[in-house]
Amino acid sequence: MKVEEKEHIMTEPKTIPEINKKALIEARNVNVFYGHFQALKDINISMNKNSVTAFIGPSGCGKSTFLRCFNRMNDYIDGYSIKGEIVIDQKKINWKNVVIEELRKEVGMVFQKPNPFPKTIFENVAYGLKIQGIKDKSFIEERVIKSIKDVALWDEVKDDLKKSALALSGGQQQRLCIARTLAVEPKIVLMDEPTSALDPISTASIEELMFELKQKYTIVIVTHNMQQAARISDKTAFFYMGEIIEYDDTKIIFTNPKQEKTQNYITGRFG
Amino acid sequence: MRTRTQEKIIETLLKLAASITILTTIGIIGVLLYETIAFFKEVSIVDFLTDTEWTPLFAQKHFGILPLVSGTVLTTLIAIAVALPIGLTIAVYLNMYAPKAFRKTFKPMLEVLAAVPTVVYGFFALTVVTPFLQSIYPDLSGFNSLSAGIVMGIMIIPFVSSLSEDALYAIPKTLKEASFGMGATRFQTSFKVMVPAASSGIIVSVILAISRAIGETMIVAIAAGQQPRLTFDPTVPIETITAYIVQVSMGDVPHGSLEYRTIFAAGITLFIFTFLLNTVSFWIKKKYQEKYD
Amino acid sequence: MTNSQKNKLIDNAFKIFGVACTLFGLIILAILIYDILKTGLTRIDWDFITNLPSRRAQKAGIYTALMGTVWILFLTAIIAFPIGVGAGIYLEEYGKKSKWANFLEINIANLAGVPSIIYGLLGLEIFVRAFNLGGSLLAGSLTLSLLILPIVIVSTREALKAVPSSIKDASVALGASKWQTIWNQTLPASVGGVLTGVILAISRAIGETAPLIVVGALAYVPFAPSSPMDEFTVMPIQIFNWVSRPQHEFAVNSAAAIIILLLITFMMNGVAVYYRNKWQKKIKW
Ligand SMILES: Nc1ncnc2c1ncn2[C@@H]1O[C@H](COP(=O)(O)OP(=O)(O)OP(=O)(O)O)[C@@H](O)[C@H]1O
Ligand SMILES: [Mg+2]
């Protein structure tokens, strides 16, 4: 792929100095540019294993951009460049020799709008496994069923696994997309406003799901819904104009933020 | 890594497939130039461009391309005279007047006209249109550019109508509404606002149609005759560049002979015409895209 | 008459003129088809389809021409499909921003405007002579393949473009490589559009006469071809041959052959439209 040859990705791994041993994801001095426009400025953050971290902040502040750095989905964007280091599971992921396909097996992503493949429900969930070259039918089937059960969709679709995924409701589709992500057993699940296109009931069921998922996965979620961030996350980062203004326990961010900007944002005084 | 090499191989194969189009262009230009240069070693380029007779197959040989060019231009002019007013009227009508359902059914139906093999049109021109025209104008010769040109014009109507309609369709609705708001009729809005606004798209469609008519072969080979002559009289037999190439190809001209090379000299003339037209339309299209992007 | 009355009159007059122009083309098409049916329909029988060519109009059949057309159809499809679709994939999915791809794109737009007879001259020098294939089916189909390549490429790109990027994102986010994504997601989702384009292009190839005449397809071939290296004729050339003769019986023959040629052409167009509709219905994003 061309992407790996871009200059912005460092050519050799430097020794990693102080690794926060507990952190699964770490960003150090990350600066991101779209052409001349700087979308992220000096981002430093670390996220622990089996935690839920929420990114909040006004539109255009760089939440999605940052999230997409973790699975390198930004690589496809013209003019994109990144400086600094992103370390996942002790490995720098933004240097040349990283195999993107391997990285993405570890770091799954759920998108804002449900985007099931125009295939059957079963094939949707099995896709990630088949891509890895797994041929064992019973293994695939087991994993598919387990993943669908994990997202609490099983009762609704167990008789329709051969039906097109496009026939599901929006909420069901989004849960299917989560199941599809879980089926390859990533360590990290990135979610970019996963409930913004859904009705309140579907949203509630996905939030509930996230509590369960925390046991096994590390979750990073972008949301515009303050209540949602407060309900589901352990830690919250408040982004503003490409910078992290404040990053702390969710409880503190929502009850006693240290920064005035954070205070203003969560109380809805600007947005 | 295995998959990475695999990916690379696939990309290379796809790139090769795409590059065949470059080879095609190089091939076309190379072949035409190669044979034409050999041709001009025996025939003076001045004669080729100025002689008013084209008789390479006769004992008394003349190699003036003008009669073939005039035949091509004449049939093309007739075709455009038919296709432009009709095609443009259809485009305006479909865009500004016709109910949605009418537009949806008739636009694709008209496009069937372009899907009919041209040899069929040739048959139609020779056996239906020419006799019909002769019933009006008895002096009309059995082979003539009028009939061939008219039928060719009918064939290229959809090029003008569909592409012009697309161009009209792309005009922002607000423009139309602004004109209606000032009390203009649909006719006034069409020709004072819409057509000028869509002019570059319409011009591109007409150029495409012209280029199509210049390169059209079977209709003229069947219905316009095989007599190269420098004339703009639409009632007499003529010969176009394309028809000449077909005429020679049907016969037994030995490879490498001067007669054989004439079809390449004729071909390069045709190629230059269409290439210029394509380039102009490409250029207009690009300018026009910039304007609306 | 006031000004506004005059304007209204013009408006209505143009409306009528517009309907007339739209119908004009279709009426001509109807006359054409009617005339051909009237002249040729009674001539069509089983013998006409299975008979070899003959100097006597009544005995002559289209068998060799029909077989030639069928051969050309398959060979052209086999050659143009992988190359055209592959090139379309390259331009749409791989080389999008590169200078080379941009150059290829301009080149393809230009090729689409080159008259078909010029492709005949190319085929004559390269395939017939340089490759020494003679006036064979293979030389003919290679020539036609180059001719329809731009159409196949452009329609493939259109079809690929219609696949929403969210699907591709989902696939790569699961760890699929670029080609895995194209093969498993993009192509299956666009297959209807791709096939439509290919079928339309091939139906165009079947109607082509001039380039095949130039590469040396013969007007008279005594036997149906049995291998890609055989000499051949095709339906349009057979029609051209018959049209060129003065006797009325041959005009009847050509009308009858035209009916069959049109049937094949319209059928392929019908199949293409059917595929497109089915594909559009199946995949609603
Ligand atoms: N592909 C791109 N090319 C250029 N600029 C971009 C691109 N994507 C995003 N940006 C810019 O980068 C900044 C951050 O965008 P990003 O999508 O990360 O914001 P966000 O915080 O996710 O906003 P939202 O809440 O609306 O989703 C914005 O100013 C945006 O305009
Ligand atoms: Mg966002």
pLDDT at A162: 94
Q: How far is B59 from chain C (nearest CA, A)?
A: 24
Shared domain for C148 and C11, answered yes or no, is: no
3 state SS of C67: helix
Residues in chain A: 271
Shared domain for C123 and C162, answered yes or no, is: yes
**Best of C90, C93, C174 to mutate (most A CBs within 10 Å, chain A):** C174
Q: Which residue has the higher pLDDT, B1 or C35?
A: C35
CB neighbours of residue B174 within 10 Å: 9
Mean pLDDT across C224-249 = 92
Give the span between the Cα atoms of C142 and C131, in whole angstroms.
11
Shared domain for B28 and B150, answered yes or no, is: no
Token pair for A113: 């709008």
Cα(A192) to centroid(ligand 2), Å: 7
User: Which candidate, B148, B123, B127, B167, places its Cα nearest to that of B236?
Assistant: B148
Contact C14, B187 (CB under 8 A): yes
Distances (CA, A) of A38 to A10, A237, A238: 19, 19, 18
Helices C3-40 and C248-282: crossing angle in degrees, nearest 10, is 120
Whether residue B1 and residue A1 make contact (CB cut-off 8 A), yes or no, is no
Give the span between the Cα atoms of B245 and B269, in whole angstroms.
12
pLDDT at A178: 94
Q: In what order do the strands lie in the sheet with A235-240?
A: A107-110, A188-192, A218-222, A52-56, A235-240, A243-249
Binned at pLDDT 50, 70 and 90, residue A15 comes out as: very low
Minimal Cβ distance to C121: which of B32, B97, B250: B32
Domain count, chain C: 2
**To the nearest 5 percent, what fractions of chain C are helix, strand and coil?**
75, 0, 20
In a domain, B227, yes or no: yes
Which numbered ligand comes closest to the C-alpha of A37?
1
Q: Is the CB of A63 under 6 A from ligand 1?
A: yes
CA atoms within 13 A on the CB side of B104: 3
Contact B248, B259 (CB under 8 A): yes
For residue C44, give every residue at least 6 positions away whose Cβ sits within 8 Å of its Cβ, in sequence order, or none: C256, C259, C260
Give the span between the Cα atoms of B8 and B72, in whole angstroms.
48
Shared domain for B127 and B219, answered yes or no, is: yes
Cα(A55) to centroid(ligand 1), Å: 14
Shared domain for B145 and B18, answered yes or no, is: no
Stated pTM of the model: 0.89
Give the span between the Cα atoms of B114 and B87, in whole angstroms.
13
Condensed to tens digits (0 to 9), the pLDDT of residues A207-225 reads 888 888 888 899 999 999 9
Instruction: Name the residue range of residue C7's domain.
Output: 3-43
DSSP string, A166-181: GGS-HHHHHHHHHHHH
ipTM confidence score? 0.93
In a domain, B61, yes or no: no
Q: Measuring from atom 8 of ligand 1, which residue has the nearest CA?
A: A65
User: Which candidate, A44, A48, A24, A87, places its Cα nearest to that of A247?
Assistant: A44
Whether residue C126 and residue B90 make contact (CB cut-off 8 A), yes or no, is no
Shared domain for C97 and C175, answered yes or no, is: yes
Minimal Cβ distance to A118: which of C97, C176, C283: C283
Shared domain for B166 and B218, answered yes or no, is: yes
Whether residue C174 and residue A177 make contact (CB cut-off 8 A), yes or no, is no
Token pair for A47: 């996220």
Whether residue C240 and residue B35 make contact (CB cut-off 8 A), yes or no, is no
Binned at pLDDT 50, 70 and 90, residue B240 comes out as: very high
pLDDT at B292: 54
pLDDT at C95: 83
3 state SS of A125: helix
Q: Is the CB of A233 under 6 A from ligand 1?
A: no
* φ, ψ of residue C194 in degrees (nearest 5): -65, -50
For residue C41, give every residue at least 6 positions away whose Cβ sits within 8 Å of its Cβ, in sequence order, or none: C256, C259
Instruction: Name the residue range of residue B246's domain.
Output: 66-292
Pairing of strands A188-192, A37-48: unpaired
pLDDT beyond 50 at B282: yes
Condensed to tens digits (0 to 9), the pLDDT of residues B82-101 reads 999 999 999 999 999 999 89
Minimal Cβ distance to B282: which of C31, C84, C106: C106
Shared domain for C76 and C163, answered yes or no, is: yes
Token pair for B202: 């319409």
Q: Is the CB of A68 under 6 A from ligand 1?
A: no
Give the span between the Cα atoms of A74 and A79, in whole angstroms.
10
Which residues in chain B touch residue C19, judged by CB atoms under 8 angstroms apart? 93
Condensed to tens digits (0 to 9), the pLDDT of residues C56-97 reads 878 888 999 999 999 999 999 999 999 999 999 999 999 877
Domain count, chain B: 2
Give the span between the Cα atoms of B75 and B237, in whole angstroms.
11
Give the span between the Cα atoms of B47 and B63, in whole angstroms.
7
What residue has token string 């819409």?
B194
pLDDT at A20: 55
Condensed to tens digits (0 to 9), the pLDDT of residues C163-180 reads 999 999 999 999 999 999
Whether residue A111 and residue C185 make contact (CB cut-off 8 A), yes or no, is no
Q: Measuring from atom 6 of ligand 1, which residue has the nearest CA?
A: A34
In a domain, B50, yes or no: no
User: Which candidate, C115, C72, C71, C65, places its Cα nearest to that of C261?
Assistant: C65
Which letter, b or e, does each residue of C9-30 get, where b requires 16 or more Cβ atoms within 10 Å of its Cβ? Answer: eebeebbeebbebbebbeebbe
Minimal Cβ distance to B255: which of C8, C117, C129: C129
Minimal Cβ distance to C175: which of A78, A101, A116: A101
pLDDT beyond 50 at A229: yes
Q: How far is C46 from chain B (nearest CA, A)?
A: 22
pLDDT at A137: 93
**Best of B4, B5, B8, B15 to mutate (most A CBs within 10 Å, chain A):** B4
Q: How far is B97 from chain C (nearest CA, A)?
A: 7
pLDDT beyond 70 at C285: no
CB neighbours of residue C189 within 10 Å: 23
Which residues in chain A touch residue B1, judged by CB atoms under 8 angstroms apart? 99
pLDDT at A7: 42
Shared domain for C191 and C233, answered yes or no, is: yes
Shared domain for C253 and C212, answered yes or no, is: yes
Question: What does pLDDT average to over chain C?
Answer: 91
Please classify residue B291 by burial: count the beta carbons closer than 10 Å to its beta carbon, then call 0-12 exposed, 13-18 middle and 19+ buried.
exposed
Q: Which residue has the higher pLDDT, B184 or B124?
A: B124
Give the span between the Cα atoms of C29 and C23, in whole angstroms.
10
Cα(C260) to centroid(ligand 1), Å: 59
Pairing of strands A23-34, A80-88: antiparallel
pLDDT beyond 80 at B38: yes
Which residues in chain B touch residue C103, judged by CB atoms under 8 angstroms apart? 22
Q: Is the CB of A24 under 6 A from ligand 1?
A: no
Contact B70, C165 (CB under 8 A): no
Shared domain for C122 and C16, answered yes or no, is: no
In a domain, B200, yes or no: yes
Whether residue B24 and residue C269 make contact (CB cut-off 8 A), yes or no, is no
Which chains have 3 or more CB–CB distances shorter than 8 Å to chain C?
Answer: A, B
**Best of C104, C114, C244, C258 to mutate (most B CBs within 10 Å, chain B):** C114
Percentage of chain C exceeding pLDDT 70: 98
Which residues in chain C touch residue A115, judged by CB atoms under 8 angstroms apart? 164, 166-167, 169-170
∠ Cα B54 B59 B62 (to 5°): 25
Cα(A61) to centroid(ligand 2), Å: 8
pLDDT at C223: 85
- The full set of domain ranges for chain A reads 25-266
Task: Answer whether C37 touches B (CB < 8 Å).
Answer: no
Task: Answer whether C99 touches A (CB < 8 Å).
Answer: no
Shared domain for B102 and B238, answered yes or no, is: yes
Residues in chain C: 285
Give the span between the Cα atoms of A235 and A24, in whole angstroms.
14
pLDDT beyond 50 at A10: no
In a domain, B54, yes or no: no
Minimal Cβ distance to B250: which of C178, C206, C219: C219
Mean pLDDT across A47-61 = 93
Shared domain for B6 and B137, answered yes or no, is: no
Binned at pLDDT 50, 70 and 90, residue A4 comes out as: very low
Condensed to tens digits (0 to 9), the pLDDT of residues A125-142 reads 999 999 999 999 999 999
Give the span between the Cα atoms of B43 and C109, in whole angstroms.
34
Task: Answer whether C251 touches B (CB < 8 Å).
Answer: yes
Question: What does pLDDT average to over chain B?
Answer: 92
Contact C155, C201 (CB under 8 A): yes
pLDDT beyond 80 at A3: no
What residue of A is the nearest CA neighbor of B7? A1
DSSP string, chain B: -HHHHHHHHHHHHHHHHHHHHHHHHHHHHHHHHHHHHHHHHHS-HHHHHH-S-B-TTSSS--B--HHHHHHHHHHHHHHHHHHHHHHHHHHHIIIIIS-HHHHHHHHHHHHHHHHS-HHHHHHHIIIIIHHHHHHH-TT--SS-HHHHHHHHHHHHHHHHHHHHHHHHHTS-HHHHHHHHHTT--HHHIIIIIIHHHTHHHHHHHHHHHHHHHHH--HHHHHHT-S-------TTS----HHHHHHHHHHTTPPTTSHHHHHHHHHHHHHHHHHHHHHHHHHHHHHHHHHHH-
pLDDT beyond 90 at C210: yes
Cα(A66) to centroid(ligand 1), Å: 10
pLDDT beyond 80 at A12: no
pLDDT beyond 70 at A5: no
What residue has token string 């205070």?
A263
pLDDT beyond 50 at A14: no
In a domain, B73, yes or no: yes
Torsion of CA A159, A164, A167, A169, to 10 degrees: 70
Task: Answer whether A201 touches B (CB < 8 Å).
Answer: no
Identity at C144, one-letter amino acid code: L
Mean pLDDT across C152-156 = 95
The third-level CATH classification (topology) of the domain covering A25-266 is Rossmann fold (3.40.50)
Shared domain for B71 and B213, answered yes or no, is: yes
pLDDT beyond 90 at B164: yes
